[in-house]
Amino acid sequence: MKRAAAFALVLAATCNTDASAPHLARGNVLVNNGKREEAAKEYREAARLAPRSALARERLGDTLYDLGRKDEALAAYREAAALGTASSFTARIGAARVLEDKGDLRGARAELSAALEKEPTNLFLLLSRGNLAKRAGDEKAALEDAERAVHLKSDNLPALYQYGLALLDDGQVPQAGATFDRLLKVSPSSPEGYYGRARYFAARGEGAFAAEALAAAAKLVESDARARLEEQGLKGEALDEAAHAAAGRSLASMQQDPAFARWARDPGFRRGASWPISDAR
């Protein structure tokens, strides 16, 4: 009797095996080996075998996106999102990414808004939608999303930074300064905090203080980039090169910020900000 029961359990397990799982697994291996065309075929088959699998369709969307087949990727993401499963909100993020690339900021924001209906406390969704709102020129909406993110998690660095910038864009300069001060209390080694302070001083027309804050930010940029890249698993020479390159991009972005344009040719300002004097024009 026990043997019959055991056989029945094995049979049930065999019947309940997800036929799409091997295709998902093979797709993952192929992606890791850079074989995305083959991976897309595996994910497509997994999706066919599992009509209710948002994951298979989302992975298909990711792979098609990486292949540059963005219209197909968007279709896959939307199929995944339409299933309405607990995890399908991430497919909305994929769809928003495609629409943003296409310049459809309104459509991208709508996808993130739909995702927020399922995940109303997701900071990534809020901050991403806020960034899109800012790019679309909707400063009030950008401020509302950043403010909501800070209310949800008052010590989150990206939320505080984005909130401070949104306050500056809204003309709330003292409140922005207080927000960047708060950011630096949470993380004294944050280059974003000092850069935010530089933007605050620039808004007040205080070039010398802005330069001082920029210099403080510049000292922290590479170590901050290194820490982030280490978390991603980079080591040795690859880490050194990536950290140096990321720091260079950040510093170049600071120097090109229109907020400091009025002092960009002033050697004294450039010296105080630790910017190359030779680049003054």
Contact, 90 vs 77, CB < 8 A? no
Q: What pLDDT score does 280 carry?
A: 61
Sequence-ordered alpha helix ranges (H) in 85-206: 89-101, 105-118, 123-135, 139-152, 157-169, 173-186, 191-203
Q: What pLDDT score does 180 carry?
A: 98
Q: What pLDDT score does 281 carry?
A: 59
Q: What pLDDT score does 2 carry?
A: 45
* Integer Cα distance of 66 and 32 in angstroms: 13
Question: Splitting the chain (281 residues) into consecutive groups of 10 residues, what average pLDDT does each group show?
Answer: 42 55 92 94 94 92 96 96 84 96 96 93 96 95 97 96 97 98 96 97 98 97 92 90 93 95 95 85 59
What does the block give as tokens for 228?
């982030």
88, 92, 93, 98: CA torsion to nearest 10: 130
Query: Hey, what CATH class is 20-120 in?
Result: mainly alpha
Q: What pLDDT score does 19 carry?
A: 86
Any idea what the Cα angle at residue 140 is, between residues 139 and 145, rounded to 5°? Answer: 100
pTM of the model: 0.84
Q: What pLDDT score does 17 carry?
A: 64
Comparing C-alpha atoms, which of 35, 36, 57, 37 is closest to residue 46?
A: 57
3-state secondary structure of 155: coil
Q: What pLDDT score does 223 carry?
A: 94
Contact, 73 vs 94, CB < 8 A? yes
